[in-house]
Chains A and B, each alone.
Chain A
């Protein structure tokens, strides 16, 4: 498994250390252009954009290309972020992976499952990491922001946040920042039933980060990603503090709660099932977002007293 920090920051001494090149697919759309400005303002090194029919033009001084092959050929970028309507996601993602992109951030919501599964298969073939679809993206506070998250909730620090929900990632990170727990990385898994990088895989791409004191996992009802992660934490004897939050305890069964992936069938996907597996892995679950920093402080304290 590729190390995410290596892809996003690189190693000290690298020519592009902390300045990794990023391509924006769909750079001239309403959403894509706004977030390109926001990412540039944060300091993300956006080197190219792609919009078919607008090759040769520029946006905010960023050169635009007709297709991914040309954009990657001209820049050598390994990271791309996609802002296209769900209908066009499949072809944009295929183009990116086949052009040599190794980290693909897939923003669109409402991508069909069949298309997501196709991209999962293709990403395995090309040994690439796909984040999303339906993700707010990834941010290493103070260094690089590849996504649609606002900048203000995030502060540099040593806690990793993995989240299935966008706004809850902001809310929980903001609570952490206010309690002086900065973040080493915040990683939006995506709210769909099929994730390019599911919770376990996301966990594995960051677990060996030297700059991590603890991990916060923001989950929600639907699927069994939390249960699998809990088992994975037990199996791999991960010994740093992990704290979780799960949204949707009060949700009715068989109703899709905003996210395509947030749906309970029978007991499959229920909050109770997730909480009980987390208990086995010694992962406390916060009742509300504001409780996360308190539980984390408790776990870190215990770790120090060992």
Chain B
């Protein structure tokens, strides 16, 4: 028994995942006909269920992955429930749209089966968020968590699925792969039975999604530069930066990587950051930190999502126990220093340019390592804000707010999202914060320009079907024995039932 199994056994997890996709297609078939009130009911139920267990899963995720802060993960989970629903509540993706003037009718066409990857960094928040998007857009979803977060992710998905089904969703609408692997994900991504992939995760996985042959929404890595203009109130900026960098130990890809200011403002910035709870590194500490975080140009994965004090200890820095962020200082901007790369940990590299032009040039280059993603601007000079925003190749610039929460829509009016579209600059098909509207296309019914069209009395009610769950399946009990009825009786009964079926939706 020591040499392993004598026979080769088919990959049970792969078969199971394939079957989940088939099951999801059934659920999608019924769910795409649900009415708006039913959709919102299910969304409410799922939001409520998710909110109630937000802390439970936050604790579980931190325990399972070792990344992040329970309190902050709780908040992210919560934000992906009621807040997300409130944001999209009035975005109607269910009711057909009629444009009388242009003589165009639009019918919503949900994608069908969404295959969604959830990263190790935000496992449960992503499960919550992508599930809510699928529900609001009337799609079925099969989630595939990161192997290091599979327990909490799968349990959270089951929890949401149970709530959805209790609220009337078809069985199989929300499913999660229990035993994910690279081979499994590649197989499902290439399946012609899925309709769209929502890829969040490492670059390799996002590239694989785009290479799968299926439509994909994939997003790239970030490397946010926060420019602090001398017009800004440095104390407020410092508080914002520390809040953002310490939020969930910088595990969000929207976190600031570099704090860039002008030389005239550097000392102010250092003082303000220190006051706000950051540990400013001296040159020796900066070197130690650099050496700890990068080996041969590769980032030390052990540091991801860890606290500032934990990292300081590992790197051999002596810091105050209250330090929330570590700030290595790089005297002059330049692209070669690894400290200017993305850091999913509370380490914020500080540098200063001689003037605004140099700052913009540097920011534009640094942001290429997180192209299409996010940047931040602090200050009141809107002229400079526009110049900065047009020069830096990102799709969102957060102003006078923490970038972690701001770009993800939690501290700004941007759509709340755990998929930050990095656009063409970031090799993504999507440049916005991904929302449910991206999972629905619209069938356009267009009349000839010059032909008359009466769009006043359209009947869309017949498009809705009775929810699948309301129908008794013929399995559990035998159908009434035919012998008791004549054929005419039976025919009449069936016609009656069909009429009532139609009646229910009219």
A, B: real partners: no
Q: Which residues of A contact B (CB under 8 A)?
A: none
